[in-house]
Amino acid sequence: MGGPQYDLLMNPLGAVRQTFEKAVASSQPSGLDPTAVYRGKDWGIVDVLNQFLFSQGGLAQVPILDASSLKWIKPNTLVRFRGMVQDMLGNEFYIGAFKDGCTWRTNKFLDFSPFSVPPVSETTLWERHLFHCVPVPGQNSWAIESTPYPLKINISNEMTCQHGEKRRRDDDPDGISDFDCCDEGSSSSNKKQKDCGSASHHKIAEITNGSSFPTKSFSCLVKVYDMPESQFKLNEVVEFIGIYTFDPELTTSDRSDNVDDNMSMFDFMDDVATHLPPSKVPRIHCLVSQKLSTQDLISNSPACEPLPNVIRGIRDSLVSYLSCTLGNDVIAAQCLLLHLLSKLRVKSDVASVGRLSLNLTGFTQESASIFGKQLNNAIKTLLPYSHTIPLTIEYLNTAMLQPKKDNESGRLLMGALQLASGTHLTLDETVMQSGTLNSKGVENVLLLKHLMEHQIVEYDFQFYKLEMATEVQCLIISEAKSNILPADLVVPVCPSAVAPVSASEEQLHAWRWYLTTVRSLPYSTDTSICEMLQNEMVEAMRKDRSLGCSDLSRWMTMAQLMAASFGEKSFSVEHWQMVKEIERLRKERL
């Protein structure tokens, strides 16, 4: 199944051991201390794996670890996990290599040592980094890759020997299927968890209320080797390929020592990992990792290059689809397209260039229920990550939007605004009623406003706030222009007909490809039209004194996006005129 000499899929640890022994053996003649040579370094296992995965097509055979596959994946096998780095838990020191008798052994890619612990003198400490990863929040179903079905059968057939353990885990179905990504106790009735997780129970309840993410997701503790921690950033989407470990012995004894002793100090000395029991949070010892961009999520992209006429064709069909969604309103559809293509390009201290948040107005409660739903569905099917927040007074007053560090447990609690870059955020203001915001509500509104204006979310670290750059497109649906959340572009929607929206799978695929490709196109600058633009602007300002800095930069952004939507890298007079026309029509509606 695997490579010539190793069964990497089912017994990756064997391969780890063998390659290590081989490497040690080869280094012995040179008289070097193997532990020193291989500290923080790969001894060949990664190469072997890379070859297997990418040259021999092994990647497709590696099962993807998710909430459902967790039940049948065998421990100590190779798995794949796609997730967002939700929290960085720092580094961990472990006995990397030790001498057992006269042979060197390694504990790399293992939770604990299978051999008895040798005396200090014969061990060396190595370092690995811990990342707490969750499935990308708001990931739409089409973007989730799952293990091909036949493989499941294959593996579960081999699982018979695993029965005992499987049963044990099946005993607490809540624990796995309903496990919320941001808690460790959940509302599960699991007895074992109850007594150890009770301390943090009330906190969890709060989070579960606040988070509007589906609670079926689970999380993963990924241990990453041989790289600086700065390799990954918070909220990045990464694919990890590594060894899934699960040890029932570890689990049964997990934290039981903490239950009876009331010494607060041991909470202190505990590393955060103990708050994530292995029975709920699977461990992955990462061998190979790769950052994922949205493009990677579009499987088997059409083989066409971004040719102008192809792009134009896709663009036209997409605009008509979007206008259908919005009740045959082409102007709004055009604006929506520009919005979907927007991306923060340049960010300096004060100004940010390239974002285009959109406020679609003119929705009443009724029309919002029709078009809003259609719009949401359209966005869901088009973009990989999207998230909708209903802006009600109650929601704002109670929800935890801000990610917050809980210093008691040492964990970063996920707020609704901890989003992977490239997520689309829809804020539905039509459901807003008049009422009083409490202090939390005000804070949440400010947070949203800050996100829209600067593309920054402040994370609360109790004693200080840390600003994290995010890249989130914000769409606001409201009755009239939203004053709470000032968007760059305000477009009143004038639906004329309610048409059933439909699109074929190929069309959807083409559109997805179009959106991600166009968004990632580089911009180039054509300075030849600078002069023309300046004249146009001066002229416009003379006509309309109310024009400000923000209007002018919006025009520039739109023109640039317009050009991009046709697959062009820099914009021309033509695009500028199109934007001006849209702006004129838009102004008429205001």
Partner 1 sequence: MESVCLSLFLKAHINLMHWAGLGLVGISPVQSLVWECFAAVGLFAGNLSPFPANSTPFLSPSLLVASFPANFSRLPFLLPLNLTWSDGQSAMASNGHSSPFGQATPNGNSNSSQTPRRSSRRRTNNSNSSPASSPFPLETPPSRPAGVASTPTTSRRRGTRHNPNATPSTPLSTDDAVPPYSSDRDENDNMETDGQDDTTPVFVWGTNISVQEVNGAILRFLRHFRDARSASESSEAADLMSEGKYMRVVHRIMELEGAESLDIDAHDVFEYDPDLYNKMVRYPLEVLAIFDIVLMDLVARIDPLFEKHIQTRIHNLKSTVCMRNLNPSDIEKMVSIKGMIIRCSSIIPELKEAIFRCLVCGFYSDPVLVDRGRINEPTRCLREECKAMNSMSLVHNRCRFADKQIVKLQETPDEIPEGGTPHTVSVLMHDKLVDAGKPGDRVEITGIYRAMSVRVGPSQRTVKSIFKTYIDCLHLKKTDKSRLQIDDSVNHDANNNAANHEEDDASLYHDKIEKLKELSKLPDIYDRLTRSLAPNIWELDDVKRGLLCQLFGGNALKLGSSGASLRGDINILLVGDPGTSKSQLLQYMHKLSPRGIYTSGRGSSAVGLTAYVTKDPETGETVLESGALVLSDRGVCCIDEFDKMSDNARSMLHEVMEQQTVSIAKAGIIASLNARTSVLACANPSESRYNPRLSVIDNIHLPPTLLSRFDLIYLILDKADEQTDRRLAKHIVSLFFQNPDNSVQEVLDLTTLVAYISYAKKHIHPVLSDEAAEELTRQYVQMRQRGNTPGSRKKVITATARQIESLIRLSEALARMRFSQVVEVGDVAEAFRLLEVALQQSATDHSTGTIDMDLIMTGISASERTRRENILAATQNLVMEKLVTGGPAARALELLEDLKKQSSMEVHLSDLKIALSTLASEGLVVFHGDTIKRI
Interacting residues with partner 1 between 214 and 253 (CB under 8 A): 229-230, 233-236, 249-250, 253
The helix or strand, by DSSP H or E, that contains position 581, with its residue range, turns out to be: helix 573-589
Closer residue to partner 1 (CB): 428 or 568: 568
Q: Does 438 bind partner 1 (CB under 8 A)?
A: no
Q: Does 123 bind partner 1 (CB under 8 A)?
A: yes
183: tokens are 């808690």
Contact pattern for partner 1 over residues 4 through 43, marking x by CB under 8 A: -----------------------------------x----
Distance CA 98, CA 96 (A): 7
Q: Does 544 bind partner 1 (CB under 8 A)?
A: no
Closest distance of CB 450 from partner 1, Å: 12
253: tokens are 């004894």
Closest distance of CB 495 from partner 1, Å: 32
Q: Does 468 bind partner 1 (CB under 8 A)?
A: yes
Closer residue to partner 1 (CB): 21 or 127: 127
Q: Spell out the alpha helix ranges (H) of 178-233.
A: 191-197, 201-210
Angle, alpha carbons 21-23-26 (nearest 5°): 110
User: With 0-12 CB in 10 A as exposed, 13-18 as middle and 19+ as buried, what is 161?
Assistant: exposed
Closest distance of CB 349 from partner 1, Å: 6
Closest distance of CB 12 from partner 1, Å: 18
Closest distance of CB 101 from partner 1, Å: 11
Cα separation of the two ends of the chain: 65
Closer residue to partner 1 (CB): 9 or 578: 578
Distance CA 114, CA 127 (A): 18
Residues between 507 and 526 with contacts to partner 1, criterion CB under 8 A: 525
The helix or strand, by DSSP H or E, that contains position 94, with its residue range, turns out to be: strand 77-100
The helix or strand, by DSSP H or E, that contains position 51, with its residue range, turns out to be: none
Choices 20-28, 426-434, 485-493, 545-553; region in contact with partner 1 by CB under 8 A:
545-553
Distance CA 158, CA 239 (A): 26
Closest distance of CB 507 from partner 1, Å: 33
Residues between 341 and 400 with contacts to partner 1, criterion CB under 8 A: 346, 348-351, 353
Q: Does 209 bind partner 1 (CB under 8 A)?
A: no
Distance CA 83, CA 79 (A): 13
Q: Which residue carries 């490579």 as its tokens?
A: 3
Closer residue to partner 1 (CB): 230 or 504: 230
DSSP-assigned states of every residue in 418-444: ---TTEEEEEE-TT--S----HHHHHH
Q: Does 112 bind partner 1 (CB under 8 A)?
A: yes
Closer residue to partner 1 (CB): 137 or 495: 137
Q: Are 92 and 225 in contact (CB under 8 A)?
A: no
Closer residue to partner 1 (CB): 309 or 462: 462
Q: Does 446 bind partner 1 (CB under 8 A)?
A: no
Distance CA 80, CA 66 (A): 9
Closer residue to partner 1 (CB): 304 or 538: 538
Closer residue to partner 1 (CB): 499 or 556: 556
Closest distance of CB 487 from partner 1, Å: 16
